Amino acid sequence: MDSRHGALSTRTYEAFKTVLFFYVLLTQSVKVQRHLRARGIATSIREFYTWIARHVIMLALRLPSAQHKVRTEMDKAKLDIEDKLVPKGADVARHLALPEKGQTPEWITAEMDKMDNEMGLANTWKNGKLSGAVYHGGDDMEKVIVAAYAKYCVSNPLHPDVFPAVRKMEAEIVAMTLRLFNNPDGAGTMTSGGTESIIMSVKTHRDWARAVKRITEPEIIIPSSAHAAFDKGAAYLKIKVHSVPVDPLTRKVDLQAVKRAINPNTIMLVGSTVNFPDGNQDDIEGLGKLATKYKIGLHVDCCLGSFIVPYLEKAGLADGSNGKYKLSPFDFRVPGVTAISCDTHKYGFAPKGSSVIMYRDAELRRFQYYVNPDWSGGVYASPSLSGSRPGALIAGTWAAMQYMGSDGYLESCRSIVTCARAIADTIVASVPELYILGSPPASVVAFGSQDPKVNVLEVGDKMAKRGWHLNALAGPAAVHIACTRLTVDRVDAFIADLKDSVREAKLQPEGKGTMVALYGLGNSSAVGPAMVGQLATAFLDTLYKA
Ligand SMILES: *Cc1c(COP(=O)(O)O)cnc(C)c1O
């Protein structure tokens, strides 16, 4: 009896093992097959090759002699970064501990002025030779924002019963923005910026997909031109990302490749209006059709499009000119769009630290919330990542929107977009060495080189020598400018400096500027990205050098 029982359980055990083996084999091969399907065979082989090459080189770099060289180079680069960021000298006061006695308001202002001047760069942004970064609404606007700040300096919307006006202003900011994107019955919340808006949307779609579609291993599909915030959010939330190539000419995401990457674990697609690298727009209607067909989310990133793209139509600029710069539908009127992020702190001219994440309906927004009824500190419920939040920023944003009004935003859209298109048109007409990436409908213009004798990153470095702070791009190598109110009056200066820079880059390339060094390194070898990663980490360390 006993031995028969023993034999039976051994057999059951063996059968169980076999089933388990085939189960694991099956699920793993489904994963591999989906991965290959999404990336394509050629890309998968290339990725695998890069992965191997990188590991081999990293191993080689562990040899003592190589390690010494890498460390020396790295230390040199770190010192370079420090020199650029941290003021030096015996007369630089360092405040490393609290003062024994509190300082006077006069001392505080004077000390700030001194710090501003230590690097000799105080207020350089005001000369307008800057891509994006400062979305200045003018001196009067600054006064309006500061007054709103002052009034709500200590307010905290985590306690709406104590600060009812702040609660009302936040609700109104969301309502106004929803109307701008043609979804008055939709829902949304404010966040601290575009990155938080995007991370919240990824989380919302993840929790929605888990509840409604029982997806436990979520994946998102993003264009290769999508903002890094999607990768960041996916990394935080343990979500797999498929980055899909964009068409080299139009710079719009390849819809066929998006379709191939969709599988039963897909929770959301992403499209930009407009993307950060080159200011072009994805085909939102095409993405919307896919999202509807496969019953998944579609996030439209209007962080940078902000308060510009909703006004292009009203400004009569949506149709473009000469077949260029056309804007296609992108907001909640497009079926399939489930979420849109819009940064009030970019072209809304609100103070930094404010953005709006919008959803098609209030039901979807609920998946964004965090609610803990059992906390020993009381019932805890909060709409987004932060707990306590600055009510002053909400008041500042509300004030900025009231001050600008629809006519103000319409005018800013008209002048900024006209500036961007003038830059693009002039480059096409009079700088034959360069070409424009795609056909950007809004405020960003990116240019690459079509002349083998001109390295566009070298052009960027020559522009830096002339005082311009532009952005370098990696795939393909290019440089962009995001036009703002500060650049509107600088088109002629920009073009003149650009022509000089191209000429100089062609005749006297040095190959030593920051853009060439950093991006050249990143693209030149398999190990480049790892090195650049180490440098970027060193850069972050330097930020906290007191
Ligand atoms: C700026 C930007 C973001 C993220 O914005 P932050 O406010 O810097 O967090 C997202 N997407 C695009 C296209 C952007 O330009």
pLDDT digits (tens, 9 = 90+) for 105-155: 999 999 998 888 877 666 666 777 777 766 666 788 889 999 999 999 888
Q: How far is the CA of 197 from the centre of ligand 1 (A)?
A: 9
Residue type at 304? Answer: L
Instruction: Give the number of C-alpha atoms closer than 13 A to the C-alpha of residue 482, restricted to the C-beta side.
Output: 23
Q: Amino acid identity of 181?
A: F
> How many angstroms separate the CA atoms of 546 and 531, rounded?
25
* Residue 177 near residue 359 (C-beta atoms within 8 A): no
- Which tokens hold the place of 194? 């575009």
What the block records as the tokens of 439 is: 């056909």
On whether the CB atoms of residues 434 and 427 are closer than 8 A, the answer is yes
**Using omega within 30 degrees of 0 as the cis cutoff, is the peptide bond preceding 476 cis?**
yes
Q: Using the predicted structure, report yes or no on whether residue 540 has a pLDDT greater than 70.
A: yes
Distance in angstroms (rounded) separating the CA atoms of residues 211 and 128 = 49
In testing the pocket of ligand 1, which one of 198, 343, 355, 393 has its CB within 8 Å of the most ligand atoms? 343
Q: According to the model, what pLDDT value does residue 268 have?
A: 98
Answer whether residue 253 shows pLDDT above 70: yes
Residues 6 or more apart in contact with residue 338 via CB below 8 angstroms:
205, 268, 291, 297, 298, 299, 359, 360, 364
pLDDT (0 to 100) of residue 94: 87
Q: Is the pLDDT of residue 525 over 70?
A: no
Question: What b-and-e string marks burial along 403-442, b requiring 16 or more CB atoms within 10 Å of the CB?
Answer: bbeeebbbebbbebbebbbbbbbbbeeebebbbbbbbbbb
User: Which pLDDT score, from 0 to 100, does residue 87 have?
Assistant: 81
Mean pLDDT over 32-58 rounds to: 85
498 closest CA partner among 453, 451, 447:
447
Ramachandran class of 388: left when φ > 0, alpha when ψ lies in -120 to 50, beta otherwise: beta
Q: Please identify, by atom number, the ligand 1 atom nearest to the C-alpha of residue 304.
A: 15
Alpha-carbon 38 to chain mean position? 23
Distance 31 CA to ligand 1 centre (A): 31
**CA distances (Å), 121 to each of 55, 124, 294, 403, in order?**
42, 6, 52, 30
69-83, 165-179, 338-352, 517-531, range with the lowest pLDDT: 517-531
Residue 275 Cα: closest atom of ligand 1: 13
Asked if residue 468 lies in contact with residue 500, where contact means CB atoms within 8 angstroms, the answer is no
Segment (H or E) for 478: strand 478-482
Segment 385-413 shows an average pLDDT of 94
- The least confident of 248-257, 380-389, 398-407 is 380-389
Nearest to 303 by CA among 229, 412, 245, 393: 229
Task: Report the nearest atom of ligand 1 relative to the CA of 193.
Answer: 7
Percentage of residues in the chain having pLDDT higher than 90: 63
- Strands 355-359 and 339-342, sheet pairing: antiparallel
Residues contacting 480, CB < 8 A, separation 6+: 131, 277, 278, 279, 444, 445, 446, 447, 470, 471, 473
Structure tokens, 231? 């990768």
> Would you state the pLDDT for residue 121?
62
Pocket residue to mutate for ligand 1, from 198, 201, 246, 276, most atoms within 8 A of Cβ: 276
Residue 61's pLDDT band, with cuts at 50, 70 and 90, is confident
Binding pocket residue ranges, ligand 1, CB within 6 Å: 193-195, 227, 229, 272, 275-276, 301, 303-304, 343, 355
* Atom 6 of ligand 1, residue of closest alpha carbon: 194
Report the pLDDT value the prediction gives residue 137, as an integer from 0 to 100.
67
Looking from the CA of residue 227, the nearest atom of ligand 1 is 11
Distance, in Å, from the CA atom of 544 to the CA atom of 546, rounded to the nearest integer, reads 6
**DSSP readout, 480-539?**
EEE--TTTGGGHHHHHHHHHHHHHHHHH-----SHHHHHHHHHHHSTTHHHHHHHHHHHH
pLDDT per residue over 333-380, tens digit each?
999 999 999 999 999 999 999 999 999 999 999 999 999 999 999 999
Q: Percent of the chain having pLDDT more than 70?
A: 94
Distance in angstroms between the alpha carbons of the first and the last residue of the chain: 78
Mean pLDDT of 44-70: 82
* CA-based nearest residue to 209, from 297, 291, 292: 297
Quick one: which of 290, 268, 253, 264 has its CA closest to 359? 268
What is the pLDDT at residue 154? 81
Q: Residues 85-107: pLDDT tens digits? A: 888 877 788 899 999 999 999 99
Beta bridge partner(s), residue 253 = 246
Cβ-count burial of 31 within 10 angstroms (0-12 exposed, 13-18 middle, 19+ buried)?
A: middle
Q: How many CB atoms lie within 10 A of CB 371?
A: 11
Most confident of 212-226, 386-400, 476-490: 212-226
**Mean pLDDT confidence for 382-409:** 94
Kindly give, in sequence order, each residue whose CB lies less than 8 Å from that of residue 102, ignoring residues fewer than 6 positions away. Answer: none
Tell the residue nearest (CA) to atom 5 of ligand 1: 194
CA of 304 to the centre of ligand 1 (A): 6
User: Which letter does DSSP use for residue 246 in this model?
Assistant: B
Q: Per-residue confidence at 83, pLDDT binned at 50, 70, 90?
A: confident
> Ligand 1 mean position to 227 CA, how many Å?
7
